[in-house]
Structure 1
Amino acid sequence: MSGRDSPFAFVDGALDRADHLRDDAGALNAAWPQAGVIVLDADGRAFADDDRALRIVAGAELGGGPGAATFLGLREGRAWFFADATTLSLEAPNRVDLRSAASHWPAWQASLFAQARALQHWHQRHRHCGACGAALAFRRAGWLGVCTGCSSEHYPRTDQAVIVAVGNGGRLLLGRQAGWLPRRWSVVAGFVEPGETLEQTVAREVLEETGVRVRAGTARYLASQPWPFPGSLMLGFIADADADTPRASDELEQAQWFTAEEVRAGLANDWAKADAEGEGIVLSSPISIARHVIRAWLAEHDAAHANK
């Protein structure tokens, strides 16, 4: 992945959000002709060139001013906007989905795409007020929805979820969903519920999905990743658990312990070939924080063994 420093996608190259400009129509209009615009179709795919690189549209090419385009922020002094293709008379040779972009585009462009896609999804799913049902009017350059009926304000929503590498001695707890490719496994994840701490979410989700009990006080935060599929923030943890026997659940068709060597081999296997015949498991995509927390658990295990 070009230009990536983080071990997972959608983090490097994030824009200066420049919140102070969202209410400054004059400044945004002045920046528009030289601005970069990322265009997404109704399915959230980005317009791309013949070689499937990002099709960067200049504001001057579209003419006028920002209009309904959403201001994303600044990069090296240049303003960037997102525009919905349904509002434009514009075409492109190709359209690229976000997962493909994360694997092949420069990191800052994948992060730009992720931000645009999350905002697009919010706009698509929040057209009416949840309190009175009237239509929303988007203001502050696309970052605020104001109800045309009761004047209540609506802001972009991000759903927090934990993702956790659960260990027991030299073993890692992994699970697989029914629709996954045959050899694909990953760590446990789940959404935070109202009134719940992140550590409580870790313990509850692991117990609900696998029947394994996380030991109190062992959950350690590692890192976070925006995950715009469609609008989550993944919060990565490592935790220790009792030696319970894992079981299947509504979420997972299988859950079991794997040794450190099995995990090491799984990381070495090509994640894109989980449906091919071969030995061992295949672990999460390199673009995801799931792979990062697995690597972190393995590094802790190896460091503990090296000191014995």
Structure 2
Amino acid sequence: MTSNACAGPGFQLDAAPLLSRSTVDRREQLRDVPDGGAELWAKGRVVLVDSRGRTPIDVDAGLVTHPTADFGERPAPGAVLLGVESGTSYWALRSSHDGAQEGWRDLRSGGALLNDTDAGLFTTAVGLLSWHDHARYCAVCGAATTQVRAGWARRCTGCDREEYPRTDPAVICLVHDGADHVLLARQPTWPPGRYSVLAGFVEVGESLEACVAREVAEEVGVEVSHVRYLGSQPWPFPRSLMLGFAAIADRSAPLVPADGEIEDARWVHREEVLAALESGGKAVGGLRMPPSVSIAHRMIRGWATWQG
């Protein structure tokens, strides 16, 4: 493998990933206000998220938020501070209504409908509330934990240890031949025709570039070179950070899809990719692109439209 994060000019993401957009002030100092956040709460709005990661989204107006006054005069139990913008604080609360609700969407189906501020709020809310759901007990002594620092930490009631939200780094790599073909693959659980780029989690003691090489080799059996960074996107399903890369591989090398993980892998010409991208989510020639809310879509479109 030849690893070079600055391997010369090349294609880039065609636009910022939709879930990477965020505008609110989320400085650490905001989480340690002496009044427990009461002053911030008084001038705030609440994003409700159910246990399935859905929130009400108006197709025309975007994210639906609620006045904090609807939930009391002080921060409601379980409320987490998302940030502040133009004098308004934004908080998230877990909704108890988890059944079918008209207008409620998750990030995959609703992220593309949101502006920069709303996308950042919803993405942070989903990830932070999910962490609280799974961090109720101390990993050291097993005692119960309580929420502190406006929802950005939990403290153990037994050993007083503080724990912070976790993020799991994962690489996602667009492998191409240096010309007009890109390597795409599909998992057996995906919708018919859905193909995307390759991805996997970073292991302990591993660099990002080494992870790219290992994951591509494991999933399709080819060696890559000229690994370079493209961009990143939070992916709170439940707590990943997708780190986008590009790499080059020999198109004549045999593809060996990982048994049980990769159903099919193939080299696809740029014109086929462009046709699938312009299809509005429909399959063209048996090829369907990942949704626009994903960094994979931005990577593929960036490569397909690059005039290098």
TM-score interval for Structure 1 and Structure 2 normalised by the shorter chain: 0.7 to 0.9
Provide the secondary structure at the position in 1 that maps to 2:18: coil
Match of 2:217 in 1: 207
Match of 1:84 in 2: 94
Matched, 1:58 2:67: yes
% identical aligned pairs: 42
- Alignment check: 8 A CA contact 2:36 2:150 kept: no
What stretches of structure 2 of length at least 5 have no aligned partner? 1-13
CA distance in 2, matches of 1:49, 1:245: 48
Tell me the amino acid that sits aligned with residue 291 of structure 2: S
Match of 1:294 in 2: 300
Tell me the amino acid that sits aligned with residue 206 of structure 1: V
Encode CA deviations 1:133-156: one digit per residue, 9 max, x unaligned: 111111101111111112222110
Match of 1:222 in 2: 230
Higher helix share: 1
Tell me the amino acid that sits aligned with residue 21 of structure 2: D
Matched, 1:146 2:155: yes
Match of 1:14 in 2: 23
Encode CA deviations 1:161-210: one digit per residue, 9 max, x unaligned: 11111012432111001122222111001111111000000000000000
Deviation, structure 1 residue 80: 0.8
CA spacing shift, 1:160–1:40, aligned 2, 3 Å: same
CA spacing shift, 1:50–1:213, aligned 2, 3 Å: closer
What stretches of structure 1 of length at least 5 have no aligned partner? 304-308
Match of 1:155 in 2: 164
Higher mean displacement: 196-205 or 224-233: 224-233
CA distance in 2, matches of 1:186, 1:76: 39
Deviation, structure 1 residue 44: 2.0
CA distance in 1, matches of 2:268, 2:59: 44
- Alignment check: 8 A CA contact 1:266 1:280 kept: no
Provide the secondary structure at the position in 1 that maps to 2:19: coil
Match of 1:113 in 2: 122
Tell me the amino acid that sits aligned with residue 56 of structure 1: T
Deviation, structure 1 residue 115: 0.3
- What is the aligned-residue RMSD (CA, Å)? 2.2
CA distance in 2, matches of 1:193, 1:186: 22
- Alignment check: 8 A CA contact 2:219 2:257 kept: yes
- Alignment check: 8 A CA contact 1:45 1:98 kept: yes
Counterparts of 1:1-308 in structure 2, within 5 Å, are: 6-26=15-35, 28-47=37-56, 53-68=62-77, 69-86=79-96, 94-169=103-178, 170-215=180-225, 218-242=226-250, 243-249=252-258, 250-271=260-281, 273-274=282-283, 278-300=284-306, 302-303=307-308
Provide the secondary structure at the position in 1 that maps to 2:37: helix
CA distance in 2, matches of 1:241, 1:210: 11
Tell me the amino acid that sits aligned with residue 237 of structure 2: F
Higher mean displacement: 291-300 or 56-65: 291-300
CA distance in 2, matches of 1:289, 1:50: 22
Tell me the amino acid that sits aligned with residue 297 of structure 2: R
